[in-house]
Structure 1
């Protein structure tokens, strides 16, 4: 079986690691939901220097609130992009990715191929094809450098 030009130019291990990282981040974000990374100070701070008039935030509470909103937006965007890419896969590829990476349980490969009644070899071939499609759909494929 000949591989197409795109497949030949992709660093398989690095690409697989990126896709797996995104899938695991997606599952984590879905499990924990929004979780602020920082908390605001609740005690007053005084300064001898007068505050200047700018368009910047003046309090740590406002600044942290903005960071939290940006982080929530980033997490939501990652989850939505992962799910959009997964929905483009064929049915068997979707089942493998969803069962192995996106459900609450941390299912292992041998459990997934057993539940889907696949041989180990067939499971890994379908999973590899799914990862290639996901990498291309999400724009995270790592390409080999031209020599």
Structure 2
């Protein structure tokens, strides 16, 4: 009788943590920025090229409006995705993640674990579990390669 191979891939915790941090960098960028190049030009521009008469007329204002709509769509999608993932966490995990990554003034780990009233070791355990849970919820977890698992 042949034994079935049930290979479960192992998570690469450092790479996974970096991916979660990148997701929060993107989240914060979308919260606080709206690029200035999305504003229409108010100065006239002149060209020595003769006008073309096609059905493809777009002014710079129309083009920028379309870019802005697309930017807003992507922005809202990213923000909703992050909020849904964070809301699925346990209360202590959610508190830590919000304090660490989602506020305008990012919290420092010692301040957060003192505020929670827990020890440093327990704090980092909870934070690590939260980061892993977020990675799975956001589908950004990083797995070790087969040869990394054997050598580790």
Q: TM-score range by the shorter chain?
A: 0.7 to 0.9
**TM value normalised by structure 1:** 0.82
What is the match of residue 34 of structure 2?
A: 35
Would you say the 8 A contact 1:81–1:138 is kept in 2? yes
Partner of 1:92: 92
Count of paired positions: 138
C-alpha distance in structure 2 between counterparts of 1:37 and 1:52, whole Å = 31
Gaps of 5+ in 1: none
Aligned twin of 2:125: 125
In 1, distance between residues paired with 2:50 and 2:29?
43
Q: 1:109 to 1:15 in 2, by over 3 A?
A: same
After superposition, give the CA deviation of every residue in 1:30-55 in whole Å (9 maximum; x if it has no partner): 3x2x6134133221333423324245
Separation in 2, partners of 1:94, 1:64 = 37
CA contact (8 A) 1:37 1:68 kept: no
In the TM superposition, what whole-angstrom CA distance separates every residue of 1:78-125 from its partner, at most 9, and x where no partner exists?
111001001111111111111111122221111111100111111111
Contact 1:41 1:60 survives alignment (8 Å): yes
Q: Tell me what 1:68 maps to.
A: 68
Q: Offset at 1:74?
A: 1.0
TM-score if structure 2 supplies the norm length?
A: 0.79
Q: Determine if contact 1:36/1:68 at 8 Å carries over to the other structure.
A: no
2-side partners of 1:118 and 1:108: how far apart?
Answer: 14
CA distance in 1 between partners of 2:124 and 2:27 (Å): 21
Q: Which residue of 1 aligns with 2:115?
A: 115
Aligned counterpart, 2:3: none
